[in-house]
């Protein structure tokens, strides 16, 4: 006699697991610093994948969010790490009861739905993982799902966006030519001083002169890049400091916590950055 199946129906359970693709409702704040918006739109219309280059915290992720909103596409973001396997991107079989069931990974889901798929810090991913995006990043625009013997053709509107930080000096963290030459590259850098101050004001609500001084601090720390610091203070750190100040934390205290200590652990360097902060505030 068969035992009554008390398990939930496969499809409904899997539905809960499947990636939810939605378009962004509210306009994310992004301040264009050049022709990047037009360039991105052109690439999207022409179905070209885009590579965003730039230091950490300069607005790459925010830019992609803004563009997804502007183009009214769902956005799938994957933060790459050195254990990211092909299955994590493409999908895998899961066990449900005694059966296997296929679950699309974020990349496959984006390909089917015509979403924008953003692979953040692509160089962090394993080399063999990086290769699965190759057929998606040229005219084929298709993703082979080997385990199912399926070739998923990208829906209209699908776009692949990857980002990487060329600041990594390590030879291990380089993008292969065969990968990078598939992309339209957009360079990102910290915004100009005026634009950066505007961003800090807009994001945090601090007074304009405070924002200008924060930007000045950032410039001074960026001078230290390569001389004991791997990176100078990013716009993101300035926004953090601005938030703390807007919330009533003393200016120097906020800079110390959000900038000096965030940049590194070396005690002498931290003191020097503190000196620079004190010189400005």
Partner 1 sequence: MPSSDAASRLTLDELKSRLDDIFYLDIVGGRSYERLLDALVLLPRPKQDFALHWGKVAARTDVEIGYLVIQLAPEALRTMAQPQAERWVIAALDEYDGKGARAAVASLRDIGAGARAGTALRLDGIEARLAHFVQGLSGRPLQIAAGAGGDGAWTDTATLHLPAQIAAADAVGRYKALAALLWAQTRYGTFGAGLEETLAAVGEPARASAWLALLEALRLSARLARDLPGLGAALADLLAELPPQLDAARATLARPAASVADSLAWLPRLMDCAPPAAAPFGPLRAQLAMQARAERIAQDKLVLRRAIAGLVAALGKAGSGETAIDIAMAADAGELRIDGEVVALPPDGRAAAQSLIHDLGEIPPECMTPAGPGAWTPTAHDGAGPTAATTTAADAVYDEWDYRRRAYRRRWCHLYWRDLPPGDAAYVAEVRRRYALPIRQIRRRFEALRSEDRILKRQPDGGEIDLDALVAAIADRRGGEDADERLFVRRSRDQRSLAAAFLVDMSGSTKGWVNDAEREALVMLCEALEMLGDRYAIWGFSGWTRTRCELYRIKDFADRYDEAVQRRIAAIEAKDYTRLGPPLRHLTQLLLREPAKHRLLVTLSDGRPDDFGDEYRGQYGVEDTRQALIEARRAGVRSYCVTIDRHGADYLKHMVGPAGYTVLADVAKLPLKIADIYRKLTS
Residue choice 146, 223, 247, 250 for contact with partner 1 (CB under 8 A):
223
Indicate whether 224 belongs to the interface with partner 1 (CB under 8 A): yes
Dihedral sign of CA atoms 253, 192, 72, 153 in order = negative
Q: In angstroms, rounded to a whole number, what is the distance separating the alpha carbons of residues 33 and 219?
A: 17
Indicate whether 148 belongs to the interface with partner 1 (CB under 8 A): no
Query: What distance lies between CA 226 and its chain's CA centroid?
Result: 24
Indicate whether 154 belongs to the interface with partner 1 (CB under 8 A): no
To partner 1, the closest distance from the beta carbon of 228 in angstroms equals: 6
Q: In angstroms, rounded to a whole number, what is the distance separating the alpha carbons of residues 184 and 59?
A: 18
Q: Which stretches within the chain are classed as H helix? A: 10-17, 36-45, 60-70, 86-90, 106-113, 127-130, 177-180, 193-204, 208-222, 235-246, 251-255, 261-263, 267-280
Whether the Cβ atoms of residue 109 and residue 103 lie closer than 8 Å to each other: no
Residue choice 15, 79, 93, 205 for contact with partner 1 (CB under 8 A):
93
To partner 1, the closest distance from the beta carbon of 41 in angstroms equals: 21
Indicate whether 100 belongs to the interface with partner 1 (CB under 8 A): yes
Indicate whether 169 belongs to the interface with partner 1 (CB under 8 A): yes
Q: Which is nearer to partner 1, 201 or 273 (CB)?
A: 273
To partner 1, the closest distance from the beta carbon of 98 in angstroms equals: 5
Residue choice 22, 57, 126, 153 for contact with partner 1 (CB under 8 A):
126
Interface of this chain with partner 1, residues 200 to 219, rule: CB under 8 A: 216
What is the torsion angle, in degrees rounded to the nearest 10, for the CA atoms of residue 118, residue 121, residue 186 and residue 61? Answer: 60
Q: In angstroms, rounded to a whole number, what is the distance separating the alpha carbons of residues 59 and 243?
A: 17
Q: Which is nearer to partner 1, 86 or 163 (CB)?
A: 86
To partner 1, the closest distance from the beta carbon of 244 in angstroms equals: 18
What are the residues whose beta carbons fall under 8 Å from the beta carbon of 96, sequence distance 6 or more? 7, 10, 13, 14
Indicate whether 22 belongs to the interface with partner 1 (CB under 8 A): no
Indicate whether 34 belongs to the interface with partner 1 (CB under 8 A): no
Residue choice 38, 42, 208, 279 for contact with partner 1 (CB under 8 A):
279
Q: In angstroms, rounded to a whole number, what is the distance separating the alpha carbons of residues 129 and 173?
A: 14
To partner 1, the closest distance from the beta carbon of 230 in angstroms equals: 12
Indicate whether 92 belongs to the interface with partner 1 (CB under 8 A): yes
Residue choice 205, 226, 250, 261 for contact with partner 1 (CB under 8 A):
226
Q: In angstroms, rounded to a whole number, what is the distance separating the alpha carbons of residues 245 and 161?
A: 34
Contacts with partner 1, residue ranges (CB under 8 A): 82-83, 85-88, 92-93, 95, 98, 100, 126, 169-172, 187, 216, 220-221, 223-224, 226-228, 268-269, 271-273, 275-281
């Amino acid at each position: 006699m068969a035992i009554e199946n008390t398990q939930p129906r496969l499809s409904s359970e899997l539905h809960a697991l499947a990636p939810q693709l939605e378009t962004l409702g509210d306009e994310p704040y992004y301040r264009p610093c050049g022709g990047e918006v037009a360039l991105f739109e052109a690439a999207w219309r022409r179905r070209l994948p885009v590579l965003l280059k730039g230091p950490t915290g300069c607005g790459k992720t925010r830019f992609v969010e803004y563009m997804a909103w502007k183009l009214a596409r769902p956005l799938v973001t994957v933060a790459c790490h050195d254990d990211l396997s092909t299955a994590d991107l493409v999908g895998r079989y899961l066990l449900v009861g005694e059966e296997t069931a296929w679950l699309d990974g974020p990349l496959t889901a984006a390909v089917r739905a015509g979403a924008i798929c953003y692979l953040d810090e692509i160089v962090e991913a394993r080399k063999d993982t990086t290769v699965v995006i190759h057929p998606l990043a040229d005219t084929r625009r298709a993703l082979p799902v080997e385990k199912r013997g399926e070739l998923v053709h990208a829906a209209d509107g699908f776009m692949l966006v990857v980002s990487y930080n060329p600041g990594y000096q390590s030879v291990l963290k380089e993008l292969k030519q065969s990968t990078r030459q598939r992309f339209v590259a957009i360079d990102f850098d910290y915004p100009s001083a005026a634009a950066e101050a505007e961003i800090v004001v807009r994001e945090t609500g601090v007074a304009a002169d405070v924002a200008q001084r924060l930007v000045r601090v950032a410039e001074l720390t960026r001078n230290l890049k390569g001389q004991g610091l791997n990176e100078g203070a990013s716009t993101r750190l300035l926004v953090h400091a601005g938030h703390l100040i807007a919330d009533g934390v003393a200016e120097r205290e906020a800079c110390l916590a959000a900038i000096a200590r965030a940049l590194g652990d070396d005690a002498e360097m931290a003191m020097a950055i503190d000196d620079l902060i004190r010189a400005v505030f």
